[in-house]
Structure 1
Amino acid sequence: MSDILKFPKDFYFGSATSATQSEGTFEGDGKGQDIWGKWFELEPEKFYNEVGPYKTTTMYKHYKEDIQLLKQTGHNSFRTSISWARLFPEGHGEVNEKAVAYYRDYFETLRENDIEPFVNLFHFDMPAALQDIGGWENRKVVDYFKEYAKTCFELFGDVVKKWFTFNEPIVHVEMGYLHQYHYPMKVDAALAVKVGYHTALASAYAIKEFKKLKTGGKIGIVLNLSPAYPRSNNEADLKAAEIAEAFQNKSFLDPAIKGEFNPLLIELIKKHDLMPDYDEKDLDVIKENTVDFLGVNYYQPVRVKARDSVPNPDAPFLPTYYFDIYDMPGKKMNPYRGWEIYEKGIYDIALNIKNDYGNIEWMITENGMGVQDEDRFKKDGMIEDDYRIDFYKGHLKWLHKGIQEGSNCVGYQVWTPIDCWSWLNAYKNRYGLIELDLETQERTIKKSGYWFKDLHDNNGFEL
Structure 2
Amino acid sequence: MSKTKITFPKDFWWGSAWSAEQAEGRGETGKAETIWERWYKEEPYRFYKGISSEVATDHIHRYKDDVQLMKQTGHNSFRVSISWARMFPNDGVGQVNPKAIEFYRDLFTEMNNNGIKVFANLYHFDMPAALQDLGGWESREVVDAYVNYADTCFKEFGDLVYNWFTFNEPLGPILGTYLEGFHYPNLIDFKRGAQATFFTVLAHARAIQAFKKYNYDSKIGTILNLSPTFPRSQNPADVKAAEIADLFYTRSFLDPMVKGVFPAKLVALLKEYDQMPVDFNQDDLAIIKDNTCQILGLNYYEPRRVKARLTAINPDGPFLPEWFFENYTMPGRRMNEYRGWEIYEKGIHDLCMDIKDNYGNIEAFISENGMGVADEERFMDENGQVIDDYRIEFIQDHLAYLWKAIQDGCNIKGYHLWTFIDCWSWINSYKNRYGLVSLDLKTQKRTIKKSGEFYKKLSEDNGFSYDVDKLI
**TM-score, with normalisation over the residues of structure 1?**
0.99
Question: Which one-letter code corresponds to 2:86 in the other structure?
Answer: R
Distance (whole Å) between structure 2 residues aligned to residue 271 and residue 171 of structure 1:
25
The equivalent of 2:440 in structure 1 is 437
1:391 aligns with 2:394: yes
Question: Which one-letter code corresponds to 1:348 in the other structure?
Answer: D
The equivalent of 1:168 in structure 2 is 169
Distance (whole Å) between structure 2 residues aligned to residue 29 and residue 47 of structure 1:
25
Per-residue Cα deviation, 1:155-213 (whole angstroms, up to 9, x for no partner): 00011130000000000001111111010111101111011000000000000000012
The equivalent of 1:30 in structure 2 is 30
SS at structure 2 position matched to 1:411: strand
The equivalent of 2:269 in structure 1 is 268
The equivalent of 1:348 in structure 2 is 350
TM alignment of 1:73-88, pairs within 5 A:
73-88=73-88
- 313, 317, 328: which one pairs with 1:326? 328
Distance (whole Å) between structure 2 residues aligned to residue 272 and residue 238 of structure 1:
21
The equivalent of 1:305 in structure 2 is 307
Question: Which one-letter code corresponds to 1:77 in the other structure?
Answer: S
CA RMSD of aligned residues (A): 0.7
Question: Which one-letter code corresponds to 2:375 in the other structure?
Answer: D
Distance (whole Å) between structure 1 residues aligned to residue 374 and residue 398 of structure 2:
21
TM alignment of 1:49-448, pairs within 5 A:
49-89=49-89, 90-276=91-277, 277-380=279-382, 381-448=384-451
Distance (whole Å) between structure 2 residues aligned to residue 385 and residue 70 of structure 1:
18
Question: Which one-letter code corresponds to 1:171 in the other structure?
Answer: G
Q: What is the percent sequence identity of the aligned residues?
A: 55
Of the structure 1 ranges 212-221 and 320-329, higher mean CA displacement relative to structure 2 is found in 212-221
Of the structure 1 ranges 132-141 and 409-418, higher mean CA displacement relative to structure 2 is found in 132-141
Question: Which one-letter code corresponds to 2:59 in the other structure?
Answer: M
Q: In the TM superposition, what is the alpha-carbon distance from 1:407 to its structure 2 partner?
A: 0.2
The equivalent of 1:11 in structure 2 is 12
Per-residue Cα deviation, 1:125-163 (whole angstroms, up to 9, x for no partner): 101110111111111111111111000000000111300
SS at structure 1 position matched to 2:223: strand
Q: In the TM superposition, what is the alpha-carbon distance from 1:96 to its structure 2 partner?
A: 1.1
SS at structure 1 position matched to 2:453: helix
Extract unaligned runs of 5+ from structure 2. 467-472
Per-residue Cα deviation, 1:91-133 (whole angstroms, up to 9, x for no partner): 1111111101000000111000000010000000101110111
The equivalent of 2:469 in structure 1 is none
SS at structure 2 position matched to 1:303: strand
SS at structure 1 position matched to 2:317: coil
Distance (whole Å) between structure 1 residues aligned to residue 100 and residue 243 of structure 2:
44
Question: Which one-letter code corresponds to 2:319 in the other structure?
Answer: F
Question: Which one-letter code corresponds to 2:415 in the other structure?
Answer: Y
Distance (whole Å) between structure 1 residues aligned to residue 304 and residue 102 of structure 2:
42
Distance (whole Å) between structure 1 residues aligned to residue 326 and residue 9 of structure 2:
40
SS at structure 2 position matched to 1:365: strand
Q: In the TM superposition, what is the alpha-carbon distance from 1:361 to its structure 2 partner?
A: 0.4
Distance (whole Å) between structure 2 residues aligned to residue 393 and residue 107 of structure 1:
29
**TM-score, with normalisation over the residues of structure 2?**
0.97
SS at structure 2 position matched to 1:196: helix
SS at structure 1 position matched to 2:296: strand
Distance (whole Å) between structure 2 residues aligned to residue 112 and residue 444 of structure 1:
23
Q: In the TM superposition, what is the alpha-carbon distance from 1:310 to its structure 2 partner?
A: 2.1
The equivalent of 1:41 in structure 2 is 41
Distance (whole Å) between structure 1 residues aligned to residue 80 and residue 159 of structure 2:
17
Q: In the TM superposition, what is the alpha-carbon distance from 1:312 to its structure 2 partner?
A: 1.5
Distance (whole Å) between structure 2 residues aligned to residue 217 and residue 189 of structure 1:
36
Q: In the TM superposition, what is the alpha-carbon distance from 1:440 to its structure 2 partner?
A: 0.3
Which 4+ runs in 1 deviate beyond 4 A? none
Question: Which one-letter code corresponds to 1:443 in the other structure?
Answer: R
1:455 aligns with 2:458: yes
Q: In the TM superposition, what is the alpha-carbon distance from 1:29 to its structure 2 partner?
A: 1.8
Per-residue Cα deviation, 1:9-43 (whole angstroms, up to 9, x for no partner): 000000000000000012x3211111000110010
Q: In the TM superposition, what is the alpha-carbon distance from 1:74 to its structure 2 partner?
A: 0.2
Distance (whole Å) between structure 2 residues aligned to residue 409 and residue 357 of structure 1:
13
Q: In the TM superposition, what is the alpha-carbon distance from 1:55 to its structure 2 partner?
A: 1.0
Matched length: 462
Distance (whole Å) between structure 2 residues aligned to residue 54 and residue 324 of structure 1:
38
Question: Which one-letter code corresponds to 1:462 in the other structure?
Answer: S
Question: Which one-letter code corresponds to 1:396 in the other structure?
Answer: L
Distance (whole Å) between structure 2 residues aligned to residue 6 and residue 428 of structure 1:
35
